[in-house]
Amino acid sequence: MAATQEKATPCCLDAAPAKSSALLHKASDPMRDWTVSGSDPSQDPIRNRAAVPTLIRPIETLPATSTNTTATKGIPVMLRAQTSHPLEPLSAAEISVAVATVRAAGATPEVRDSMRFVEVALVEPDKHVVALADAYFFPPFQPSLLPRTKGGPMIPSKLPPRQARLVVYNKKSNETSIWIVELSEVHAATRGGHHRGKVISSKVVPDVQPPMDAMEYAECEAVVKDFPPFREAMKKRGIEDMDLVMVDPWCAGYHSEADAPSRRLAKPLIFCRTESDCPMENGYARPVEGIHVLVDMQNMVVLEFEDRKLVPLPPADPLRNYTPGETRGGVDRSDVKPLQIIQPEGPSFRVNGHFVEWQKWNFRIGFTSKEGLVIYSVAYIDGSRGRRPVAHRLSFVEMVVPYGDPNAPHYRKNAFDAGEDGLGKNAHSLKKGCDCLGYIKYFDAHFTNFTGGVETIENCVCLHEEDHGILWKHQDWRTGLAEVRRSRRLTVSFICTVANYEYGFYWHFYQDGHIEAEVKLTGILSLGALQPGETRKYGTTIAPGLYAPVHQHFFVARMDMAVDSKPGETFNQVVEVNVKVEEPGKNNVHNNAFYAEEKLLKSELQAMRDCNPLSARHWIVRNTRNVNRTGQLTGYKLVPGSNCLPLAGSEAKFLRRAAFLKHNLWVTSYARDEVYPGGEFPNQNPRIGEGLATWVKKNRSLEEADIVLWYVFGVTHIPRLEDWPVMPVERIGFTLMPHGFFNCSTAVDVPPNTCDLDLKDNGMTAKPIQNGLLAKL
């Protein structure tokens, strides 16, 4: 992922590169570098001082930035630039080096030719390495991130080399392997004489299937269309032009031993357009029912084919299309006036690479092919208290879409869109003025394709400010004097398309210190065809012969919290809060009393919890060592939005792989390799409850820990006629809100706006407000 400076208009946002980033200290003996190997605590330079060269002299304060040798309290210091922050997304060049390194390591030409590259991701370093980088190597230098030590901090000459982690599928052997490649080493003598990285490790992962790739999907569609029995079946339905046919390969899931990962399988859904010369026609309006296809994705052959039931194609629905001039009889609205968001003084945020500062917030932006957007190192600058961490890492790590129709093919529609496909890989370029509005900073994203080439999604992540209505207001009724403030929020987002559905993922940062996570669902319904006169109670009939099955969408947010905690500290805990009604009696003689009751979640098994709106249930992550001015522990609370649980029996097949959906909240003690709630490879996974449901059986203590929250939230979709032909956005999410974190409201110092309007030319033009935002109607 790369910051795209030129995309931000009207001016460039990226700060000039830091002239100095690393510290090199003179010593009487030669200097040596240090490295961190994996997540072995014995190799951690902070926990084990022996791992850091003792030749480095401690310093008490950070020297001024300079390209020259400077002196700090008599200690000669040379500052040296670093190219990439440890959390910087892999560049296109780094991905190319990683792929080339692994390919060159293949034992034979056959092995190298059969390698398919599913994922190339950054190996995120230990939290102490990130703290060291932020403290002394990258601006804005923050030495307070490191724990104080006697004699001052120990500062190495440079950071450990960056590493890439590759998931590689061998198309010939049907094996999946994981490779770790160090990116800083240069081996000019390797095959071809090109620069390579260095293979640190490789291992084969048995009994798994990695996510599917777009190249596989395209090849699968072509194979099915060329299969003679399929063409004959389509001919029975009146279709001979294969250009009209859409084959959407769906992962097979796991319903029985026949779906075991010993084979790489897909069970496509079939649709058919009406007009071959209309590329924007809504082909999902004509589902093809009754045809069963099973495709071997390794060898690209049809394994099973059966024309089980001849269901007539639904007639062409005149309301099926959604392009301009083709909706609701071909008449578009003509009374929508332009709306412009203009910031003549530029935005209030600052961006340096992937580091963002805005309204006392600062964080880093990352991106992966599986999760999409990742937010790192979230902190708030709180006056004299300085930088106060809130979270180390925030992301959406999985989503599941189970359908509620027991009929074929809908009963097996339970997509794991992150684990089976990849949310990041399915992201797309955002359009200024459409997907995002206002003064925008874009970031590009880089991925490997299936054959190892590098692909770039331009304008993949959008960063911009939004006006968000009133932040607060009060009018004194005695004097008539009023104070009101507008709310501004900073939004970071991306949008992905998975077959028929679109999902927008948003993190909103607010001036009062709270963070909102939001998912916007839109796109096209996945439909089924009906026999003439048939109806089904498991969906909604939306047109003759056409119905939309009921279904649910579930999302999992993983939040590696760090409330007032330096990296690696284990001073957080979680309490559950429920509002209780006081029992009638001497303490409640008026029968109006209620109170908030707190319960400490002491262990992982105790922390499997569900939402309860009847008791206003929420959860607070507290720091056990920090207090506010009233003596209460500082904290951030998770406030649920609307939510649901799976509407399926306990023996539902998809719950074998998605046991994490059984509760809305899970809490674990941080472990570096615990990232994906259904395990890393949910595709055709035969193992019951892999991932989160298994990890919590360790029942680790949470009374003082490095806390990770897993919040599962969803929506039950009963389709409406108004969801056709394209579904208006539906929003779900949750909020992380300060709870005793600050000593008072952080919103009182937001400056007032200029709100009066001038009427000109029968229109309204807003005067510029004092903080630089202009809304023009």
115-147 pLDDT, tens digit per residue, is 999 999 999 999 999 999 999 999 888 888 887
Q: Is 603 helix (H, G, I), strand (E, B) or coil?
A: strand
pLDDT at position 9 is 36
pLDDT at position 2 is 65
- For 472-478, what is the mean pLDDT? 95
* pLDDT higher at 391 or 136: 391
pLDDT at residue 19 tops 60: no
Which phi and psi angles does 195 have, rounded to 5°?
-70, 135
| Torsion over CA: 330, 335, 336, 342 (sign) | positive
pLDDT at residue 601 tops 90: yes
Rounded to an integer, what distance in angstroms lies between the CA atom of residue 27 and that of residue 30?
7
% of the chain residues with pLDDT over 90: 76
pLDDT at residue 494 tops 80: yes
Q: Is 359 left (phi over 0), alpha (psi -120 to 50) or beta?
A: left
| Torsion over CA: 649, 651, 654, 657 (sign) | positive
The set of long-range contacts for 224-233, using a CB threshold of 8 Å and a minimum separation of 24, is 224/268, 224/270, 224/293, 224/295, 224/302, 227/293, 227/302, 227/305, 229/305, 229/307, 230/291, 230/293, 230/302, 230/305, 233/291, 233/307
Q: Which residues contact 493 (CB under 8 A, 6 or more apart)?
A: 373, 436, 461, 462, 504, 505, 506, 507
The class of domain 92-143+158-205 in CATH terms is: alpha beta
Q: What is the pLDDT of residues 692-704, one digit of tens each?
A: 999 999 999 999 9
Distance of CA 496 to the CA centre of its chain: 11
Amino acid at position 3, single letter = A
Lowest average pLDDT, out of 96-110, 181-195, 560-574, goes to: 181-195
The answer to whether 342 and 774 are in contact (CB under 8 A) is: yes
Q: What is the pLDDT of residues 203-229, one digit of tens each?
A: 999 999 999 999 999 999 999 999 999
Torsion of the alpha carbons at 589, 595, 599 and 600, rounded to the nearest 10: -140
pLDDT at residue 329 tops 60: yes
Q: What is the pLDDT of residues 1-13, one digit of tens each?
A: 665 543 443 333 3
pLDDT at position 301 is 98
* pLDDT higher at 475 or 37: 475
| Residue 240's pLDDT band (cuts 50, 70, 90) | very high
136, 403, 442, 501: the catalytic one is 501
pTM of the model: 0.87
For residue 296, the cross-strand partners are: 265, 301
Domain covering 359-739, topology: Beta-galactosidase; Chain A, domain 5 (2.70.98)
pLDDT at residue 609 tops 90: yes
| Residue 583's pLDDT band (cuts 50, 70, 90) | very high
| Measured CA distances, 281 to 196, 244, 285 (Å) | 46, 10, 9
Lowest average pLDDT, out of 78-82, 274-278, 322-326, goes to: 78-82
Q: What is the pLDDT of residues 97-114, one digit of tens each?
A: 999 999 999 999 999 999
Asked if the domains at 92-143+158-205 and 214-323 fall in one CATH topology, the answer is: yes
pLDDT at residue 233 tops 50: yes
* pLDDT higher at 38 or 235: 235
Furthest C-alpha separation in the chain: 91
DSSP 585: B
pLDDT at residue 63 tops 60: no
Mean pLDDT of the chain: 86
Q: Is 384 helix (H, G, I), strand (E, B) or coil?
A: helix
Neighbours of 531 (CB within 10 A): 13
Lowest average pLDDT, out of 33-37, 102-106, 651-655, goes to: 33-37
| Measured CA distances, 203 to 123, 180, 206, 346 (Å) | 16, 9, 9, 50
| Residue 754's pLDDT band (cuts 50, 70, 90) | low
- For 757-769, what is the mean pLDDT? 44
Q: What is the pLDDT of residues 706-735, one digit of tens each?
A: 999 999 999 999 999 999 999 999 999 999
Helix axes 214-225, 228-236, angle to 10 degrees: 70
Q: What is the pLDDT of residues 730-743, one digit of tens each?
A: 999 999 999 999 99
Q: Is 93 helix (H, G, I), strand (E, B) or coil?
A: helix
126, 213, 417, 723: the catalytic one is 417
- For 376-386, what is the mean pLDDT? 95
Rounded to an integer, what distance in angstroms lies between the CA atom of residue 179 and that of residue 200?
8
- For 358-363, what is the mean pLDDT? 97
pLDDT at position 153 is 66
- For 503-519, what is the mean pLDDT? 98
Q: Which residues contact 198 (CB under 8 A, 6 or more apart)?
A: 101, 181, 182, 185, 187
| Residue 324's pLDDT band (cuts 50, 70, 90) | confident
pLDDT at residue 54 tops 50: no
- For 325-354, what is the mean pLDDT? 88
The answer to whether 421 and 597 are in contact (CB under 8 A) is: no
The answer to whether 776 and 761 are in contact (CB under 8 A) is: no
670 is catalytic: no
Lowest average pLDDT, out of 176-185, 473-482, 572-581, 617-626, goes to: 176-185
pLDDT at position 424 is 97
pLDDT at residue 508 tops 50: yes
The class of domain 214-323 in CATH terms is: alpha beta
Domain boundaries, the chain: 92-143+158-205, 214-323, 359-739
The answer to whether 156 and 137 are in contact (CB under 8 A) is: no
501 is catalytic: yes
pLDDT at position 41 is 38
| Torsion over CA: 434, 437, 440, 443 (sign) | negative
* pLDDT higher at 163 or 275: 163
Work out the end-to-end distance of the chain between its first and last CA atoms, rounded to an integer number of angstroms: 36
